[in-house]
Structure 1
Amino acid sequence: MSAFIEQFYLQLLHGELPEEELSEKMRVLELENQQVSVLLVGLDHSYRLKTFCSEKAYQGMLQETKAELEGLLREGRPQAPPVLPLSNAVFALLYPDSFRPEPLEFARQVARRIKSSFQHTVSVAVSGPFALREVSKAYGQATVRLKQRLLLGGDRVLCADPEQAAPQGRYPHELERKLATAVRFGDQGQVKEVLRGLLRELAGQALPSECWQQIAFDLMEQGYQVARQMNLPSVPALEMMEKSREISLLTTWQDIQLWLDNTLGQLAERIRTLGAGPSLAVKKALSYIESHFQESLKLAEVAEHVCLSPNYLTQQIKLQTGKSFLEHLCGWRLEEARRLLGGSMLPVGQIAYQVGYEDPRYFSEVFQHRYGQTPSQYRKALRSMEKSTKS
């Protein structure tokens, strides 16, 4: 059950669950009325530690931090939420509102305990409380705040609550995942397009140069992590050190964009050239989904088309692309729905049927979960924008 809960919490953070599945899992786990705060615990100066420490020492710091967090959570509590290891030396906790001490005080305890017990320090970003189904919002807010820790020298507790000087904006996790997928596919053009959108979204948040350097390192690390998953040779330590030095010279988001365009573009090209991208069967499956998403498409049908078992196919799609079969299917359907909402006068119910949903109400729930607006609200906003542009 613990592995199931950990996976569920990770899906919650990333906003990956359709509304119907989310409601069902919350009912099974008896979490319908749960309120939580998101705590992100990050090693300070992680890109420097990664570069100048041995891999064994660096991994030791991560293990020590995780063990200490788990110990603090278990103190005086029969049941504690899992410590979720994220990428780039960051751990996430979904801290229930019913727990004591308050989230901010617990964050201070974490920072003090790590500092007194080990030779490294951490910063903790706190956001919440939120209803459990809304934690992806808290995650985005906390991430923006955590990436500002270098400006403050690290070893900080950073509150992202609206009443306590929250940062403006959220970190675009969805674009970050799309970027990793583009690298995995070896698609240089998509890498540049997604990277441009991600950095422009962050550029509006007036981040200092130290934050941009941390973001550059995080995105580079994710790219190399994808490369390792695709069985490319590990990056030599000297190369990582040189790239970290290059990052230290970057001061604006435009500098970051040019540098990452080159670094991640080269990585994507290596994956494409060496044939380490998605297998032919997975490519055929994705192409079939793209061509048939408007139908009542089932995994078994796609698996039969590529001559694989459904279980093996869904495993390989997730492993090779970073997204599940349902995420790919839902993505195509919602993109087509957005196009029809903006470019046609079709009723919302008819659009739902046309893009593959049998239940218009469920379509509206999925659309709102993904974009924060119902289909009708989205169409109204587009019409309003068009009128203001013309006037």
Structure 2
Amino acid sequence: MNSIALNVNRRAVEVLAEPRTSLADFVRDKLDLTGTHLGCEHGVCGACTVLLDGVPARSCITYAVACEGADITTIEGLDEDEVTVELRAAFTREHALQCGYCTPGMLVSARDLVLRLPDADERRIRVGLSGNLCRCTGYVGIVRAVQSVIETRRARNIAPQPGGGRTILGPAGSGWAAPGGNEQPLRPVRQEFAAASDGIAPAVIPDFTPATVLEQRFTLPYAPAKVFAMFDDIAGIAACLPGVSLTAPPSRERVEGAIRVRLGPIAAVFEGAARVERDPAKLSGRIVGIGTDRRSRSATQGEIRYRLLPIDDGTATAVELSIGYALTGMLAQVGRPGLVRDLARRLVADFADNLDRHMSGASPGQLAPAELSGWSIVSDILRARVARFFGRRGEPG
């Protein structure tokens, strides 16, 4: 088994895999990114096409170990990509998909054509897509979809990128084949890698750009200075967070622990570490963390930014929270945004209640539940709907 470290969908991962493991099997079986499809497994059909250092490449005939340090983008990593969003709309409009099996690889290749081609030349588009086979559509809708996106973008004065942004010679996705025979390879920027398989966080907690940000607010009947002092009690704050437990004595530089979450039938325990930043002058702070769940092979990065505002002539505090996160692996596929938002709201509500009890002198046994559960959210929604139903029944006609 080899430890393979690379960047997948803008997140650093390090996973054990056999040297013979293909990149397609690596992203599907190790990272649960099953949007990459396997067809012929001979590099012919193109269903497994991903971006390797920004270049379309066949992941079924590429060894994962050969991609050490490379940047991999699967179809899941293109959810917010501008060109891919336009292509998806065009594929729908032009009826460019039927069974959809070839579509992820087709979109990756089509995106490259949209970036590179100066105009919507049908012949060049057909040649460019000749490595992606479709058994359903006859390609007419696919070609029209790609043409329409190219025409629209050129009409908006978005110029083509020579080589699709390729600046390095060498095979697709090599990432460090230097031009002119330079002996010093051009390597991509490396990050601190999070171990996605063993739950151990890196020595340095890296910064990141959240994929999703949620804003929350609650109030406490205590002065801002008292609340800010409470936020400096890391162990006390951890005791107020549902599902959170510490696994080592905490410090601002490093807090090691775990959080238990249940999404329907799936239970996860994210083990990792965080760092704490505070700004006394602005009564604000930031907590940045990273963790992995061994069972589902899911990984997450998150940050909580908080700001304390005085209300009621300074006798109470409004706590403004900004919760940002990025999630990969199986839970990223079942953790829909609406469910995650509801979980975040429940977490903040329970945290506020627990914090109020803690500051009033309640015992630890009266605080957070053992884990944060999506089932409790469902039951709350059902209770609220039943209450509204009977409330309407009781209203005079």
Return the TM-score normalized by structure 1: 0.22
Return the TM-score normalized by structure 2: 0.22
Question: Which structure dedicates a bigger proportion of its chain to strand?
Answer: 2
Between Structure 1 and Structure 2, whose CA radius of gyration is higher? 2
Question: Which structure dedicates a bigger proportion of its chain to helix?
Answer: 1
